[in-house]
Amino acid sequence: MRKAIAVLFLGFIGYYLLSTFLLVPFGVVRVLEGVGLKYLQDGLQQTGAANLVTSIVVNYRGFDTLGEVTVLFLAATGMGALLYSKRPTERARQNASIIVKTGARILFPLIIILGAYVFIHGHLTPGGGFQGGAIIASGFLLMFMSYRTYHVNHVILSRVESSAGSVFVIIGLLGLAYGSSFLANILPLGTVNTLFSAGVIPLIYVAVGFKVGAELTALLDTMLQTVK
């Protein structure tokens, strides 16, 4: 009886999902109407970013991105508060093998460089601050898992995170004061497809990269600790 009810319920959901998908218009003409067409036609000229996704996320919808960064900060703060303990802590695992530790020491700086490359070139290639910050945090996770006594300085991470967030807000306020809106571009756009282009977009992504990397690294370090 339960299986029959489950099958009927899944069939009911599947029917309405299929009906909804059939109502979605497909085709180049319909997809490129409205605001999407505006982005494609004017995005490169107005923002100077070769990556139009970046121009939408950081420029046209930059205020939304600030909200997303704030949500990540609140989530990391809440998790840290739940896991925080004033008692001494230690890793609840043993050191990895010499092969893993040696590999981690070799790969760690390369992972950090890759993460920095991703958020510095976010306006030119797929990627950006969130992706680059996550890559950097994965490098620290590799060290946490390879070395039982490897720790990070949470004071430094806190300062990096707060400074990066402040830079994001300051850039936004400068756009409001000297431009037309919050996060409006106030710098020269430069030449498209070069590193120094797209106005303030690269600066914003660098700030987001540092902020996300610091938050995730601190959170991972806290989660991997256990009370003695």
pLDDT tens digits, one per residue of 57-113: 888 888 888 888 888 888 888 877 777 665 545 555 567 888 889 999 999 999 999
Do β-strands 225-227 and 89-91 pair in parallel, antiparallel, or remain unpaired? antiparallel
How far is residue 62's CA from residue 168's CA, in Å, rounded to a whole number?
10
Across 162-166, average pLDDT: 91
Residue type, 42: D
pLDDT value at 7 more than 70: yes
Give the least confident one: 33-42, 60-69, 177-186, 210-219: 33-42
pLDDT value at 168 more than 70: yes
pLDDT value at 46 more than 60: yes
Task: Yes or no: say if 190 and 197 are a contact pair by the CB < 8 Å rule.
Answer: yes
Q: How confident is the model at residue 227, as a pLDDT?
A: 44
pLDDT digits (tens, 9 = 90+) for 128-145: 899 999 999 999 999 998
pTM over 0.85: no
How far is residue 117's CA from residue 205's CA, in Å, rounded to a whole number?
11
How far is residue 29's CA from residue 4's CA, in Å, rounded to a whole number?
43
Across 20-47, average pLDDT: 73
Beta-sheet strands, E only, within 75-190: 89-91
